[in-house]
Amino acid sequence: MADKRDVVIIGGGHNGLVTAFYLAKAGYKPLVLERRPQAGGAAITEEFHPGFRCSILAHAAGPLRPKVVRDMQLEKHGLKFITPDVAVASLSPDGRALVLYNDAQKSAQEISKFSQKDAAKYPEFQASLAKMGKAIGDALTLTPPNIDSPTRGDLWGMLKTGRSIRNLGKKDMYRLLRWGPAAVADVVAEYFETDLLRATVAARGVFGTFLGPWSAGSTLVLLIRAAGDSHPAGSANFAAGGIGSITQAMAAAAQQAGAEIRTGVEVIEVRVKDGAATSVVLSTGEELSAKAIVSNADPKRTLLTLVDPAHLSPDFAMKLQHYRMPGTLAKVNLALSGLPKFTALNGDASLSGRIQIGPEIDYLEIAFDYSKYGSFSKQPYLEVAIPTVTDPSLAPAGKHVMSIYVQYAPYKLKGTDWETQRVALGDTVVKTLAQYAPNLPELILSHQIITPQDLEDTYGLTNGHIFHGELSLDQFFTMRPLLDWARYRTPIQHLYLCGSGTHPGAGLTGGSGANAAREILKDLKK
């Protein structure tokens, strides 16, 4: 007979932990089941070479939703944020660097070395982005409305969002409506003439997506990110001890509130009876029944793999099969014997934030072109962090860790596979970086190469997609993951979604988990 529980949550990623916390605070006893040895999902810190620890996948926070941080009291559970003054240092092949700071005026001073016009426009762009981001941010905290039969709460939420947009004023309201479906390359060109600045801002609109800077709708991604951080190129938000410190603090908060977390436990099936989810089956054969089953896995993995698709209508199953989630990101982690010397950067301070290799719009677009045809560029777009500059505890004294996002690396390769191309990918990354830091190759003690296939096989990210599905106009808000199914419920009664494949789904923010918990509690209390 199945062991009975209040709520079972499949997956201990950050959204699953946030959901568990809010359910536990409401008096329920959620059980979180995580198949890997530690909770955290894509936000984990692990040793990848003796003495060297790294944020294995994600190396920067979303940033986290402030209310989630306050409610979970993450600082009291050991979390310490590191926010260096430098946001991003964007490098050019000609030996120059554009260093942007958290302070807009300081950034403008740096931009003036390239263009006085751009320096004057940058604070204006940031202010406009901040206003639009706040309006969008209000919508990200809402449960998407029921289109056919909106409730009073839906109507009130839509009214508040409408007021927020109207309060932008005519100019920014027009910009918001026009920018959403626009290509980010067009938007940055309206403001800036410097290629390096254009590419630095545009990269934020394509990161983690199967979009290039000339792709329609890429500005939407920039606007979604601006809801949490109004800096045009984004800030650098790290955690002492690596990104895993965030999810370890979340796990501690959830457990203190009354949740139970079991690791090394894999759910292989969600059982359904009479149209309702009744229990989960573990790889050991153990069965756990629950009043509610919540999946932090992506929508496809949940409803087409864990659930027998026979329990879904043919129309729903077909639409979900066409839900787009083409992974395009890889990760390379390096253990270094010393600090690399970047030709364009002087001093540790300039290495404390993010370092970007993507000097112009065409560079980003050409890298994207390779992925469209089943290959990865020999000159990829890279985002680099050297966390040991601000957190020496991650490596032995005098040594360093380098964390590198690699884009574009398509999940599906033409005529080959990722196991065959693993070494070539690592070599490409090192060769690309060596153009800017010539002494890097001689410093490498060890490397860890994580391909899109690894993201699926090891970390449970279907197709290697870090956001559980494309962030695009047709998969956003009331259409995330599908139209009529954006309210965290599924066609299977008592089965819910809480991961990044639900609204707002914008990385490591905790937004999806918090929103989902609110809706699940409404049903549990009925």
DSSP state letter for 489? B
Instruction: Give per-residue pLDDT as tens, 62-114.
Output: 789 999 999 999 999 999 999 999 999 999 999 999 999 999 899 999 999 99
Nearest of 437, 420, 427, 449 to residue 332 by alpha carbon: 449
Nearest of 515, 507, 513, 503 to residue 479 by alpha carbon: 503
d(Cα 339, Cα 306) in Å, to the nearest integer? Answer: 45
Residues 175, 255: one domain? Answer: no
Return the higher-pLDDT residue of 164 and 249: 249
Residues 426, 511: one domain? Answer: no
Residues 347, 441: one domain? Answer: yes
At CA 366, angle to CA 421 and CA 402, rounded to 5? 55
d(Cα 453, Cα 326) in Å, to the nearest integer? Answer: 11
**In contact, 312 and 485? CB cutoff 8 Å:** no
Q: How far apart are the first and last CA of the chain?
A: 26
> What is the pLDDT averaged over residues 144-149?
86
DSSP state letter for 481? S
**In contact, 144 and 486? CB cutoff 8 Å:** yes
Instruction: Give per-residue pLDDT as tens, 463-518.
Output: 999 999 999 999 999 999 999 999 999 999 999 999 999 999 888 999 999 999 99
Domain of 37: which CATH number? 3.50.50.60
Residues 481, 498: one domain? Answer: yes
Domain of 440: which CATH number? 3.30.519
Residues 278, 198: one domain? Answer: no
DSSP state letter for 469? S
Q: Residue 129: CB partners within 8 Å, gap ≥ 6?
A: 222, 223, 226, 230, 232
Residues 39, 145: one domain? Answer: no
Residues 218, 89: one domain? Answer: yes
**In contact, 399 and 392? CB cutoff 8 Å:** no
Q: What was the pLDDT predicted at 157?
A: 82
Instruction: Give per-residue pLDDT as tens, 377-428.
Output: 999 999 999 999 999 999 999 999 999 999 999 999 999 999 999 999 999 9
Strand runs labelled E in 350-491: 354-357, 381-385, 400-407, 444-450
At CA 219, angle to CA 217 and CA 224, rounded to 5? 105
Q: Which residues of 312-349 are buried (b: 16+ CB within 10 A; e: fewer)?
A: beeebeebbeebebbbbbbbbbbbbeebbebbbbeeee
Band (352; pLDDT cuts 50, 70, 90): very high
Nearest of 22, 143, 6 to residue 478 by alpha carbon: 143
**In contact, 181 and 473? CB cutoff 8 Å:** yes
Q: What was the pLDDT predicted at 2?
A: 63
- Evaluate if residue 126 carries a pLDDT over 90: yes
Residue 171 falls inside a structural domain? yes
- How much of the chain, in percent, has pLDDT values that exceed 90? 88
Residues 126, 191: one domain? Answer: yes
- Evaluate if residue 3 carries a pLDDT over 80: no
Cα 265–chain centre separation: 24
Which of 436, 457, 478 is the last residue before a domain boundary?
457
Q: What was the pLDDT predicted at 155?
A: 83
Report H helices in 141-183.
Answer: 152-166, 170-179
Residue with tokens 């045809």: 373
Nearest of 502, 520, 525 to residue 512 by alpha carbon: 502
Residues 58, 163: one domain? Answer: no
Residue 232 falls inside a structural domain? no
Which of 457, 479, 506 is the last residue before a domain boundary?
457
pTM, full prediction:
0.96
d(Cα 307, Cα 316) in Å, to the nearest integer? Answer: 13
Q: Which residues of 427-447 are buried (b: 16+ CB within 10 A; e: fewer)?
A: ebbbebbeebbeebeebebeb
d(Cα 41, Cα 403) in Å, to the nearest integer? Answer: 17
Instruction: Give per-residue pLDDT as tens, 17-71.
Output: 999 999 999 999 999 999 999 999 999 999 999 999 999 999 998 789 999 999 9
Q: What is the dihedral of CA 105, 106, 107, 109, to 10 degrees?
A: 90
| Domain enclosing residue 252, as ranges | 3-80+243-324+465-525
Residue 237 falls inside a structural domain? no
Q: What was the pLDDT predicted at 245?
A: 97
d(Cα 353, Cα 87) in Å, to the nearest integer? Answer: 5
> What is the pLDDT averaged over residues 455-466?
96
Residue with tokens 């956003």: 476
Residue 260 falls inside a structural domain? yes
Residues 353, 301: one domain? Answer: no
Residues 37, 63: one domain? Answer: yes
Half-sphere exposure at residue 332, Cβ-oriented, CA atoms within 13 angstroms: 26
- Evaluate if residue 519 carries a pLDDT over 70: yes
Beta-bridge mates of residue 288: 3, 280
Q: Residue 322: CB partners within 8 Å, gap ≥ 6?
A: none
Which of 457, 486, 504 is the last residue before a domain boundary?
457
Q: What was the pLDDT predicted at 160?
A: 81
Residue with tokens 């969600």: 270
Read off φ and ψ for residue 30, nearest 5 degrees: -70, 145
Read off φ and ψ for residue 45, nearest 5 degrees: -115, 130
**In contact, 211 and 218? CB cutoff 8 Å:** yes
Q: Is 291 exposed, middle or buried (0-12, 13-18, 19+ CB in 10 A)?
A: middle
Q: What was the pLDDT predicted at 327?
A: 95
The amino acid at 392: P
> What is the pLDDT averaged over residues 217-223?
95
Residue 309 falls inside a structural domain? yes
> What is the pLDDT averaged over residues 447-456?
97
Residue 231 falls inside a structural domain? no
SS3 assignment, position 340: coil
Band (167; pLDDT cuts 50, 70, 90): confident
Cα 457–chain centre separation: 18
- Span of 137-146, 355-364, 414-423, 479-488 with lowest mean pLDDT: 137-146
| Domain count across the chain | 3
Beta-bridge mates of residue 91: 97, 357
d(Cα 69, Cα 249) in Å, to the nearest integer? Answer: 10
Q: What was the pLDDT predicted at 346?
A: 83
- Span of 137-141, 270-274, 313-317 with lowest mean pLDDT: 137-141
Residues 91, 221: one domain? Answer: yes
Residue 500 falls inside a structural domain? yes
**In contact, 387 and 242? CB cutoff 8 Å:** yes
The amino acid at 89: A
> What is the pLDDT averaged over residues 274-294?
96
Regarding beta strands 330-336 and 354-357, do their DSSP bridges make them parallel or antiparallel, or are they unpaired? unpaired
- Span of 63-67, 157-161, 209-213 with lowest mean pLDDT: 157-161
Residue 235 falls inside a structural domain? no
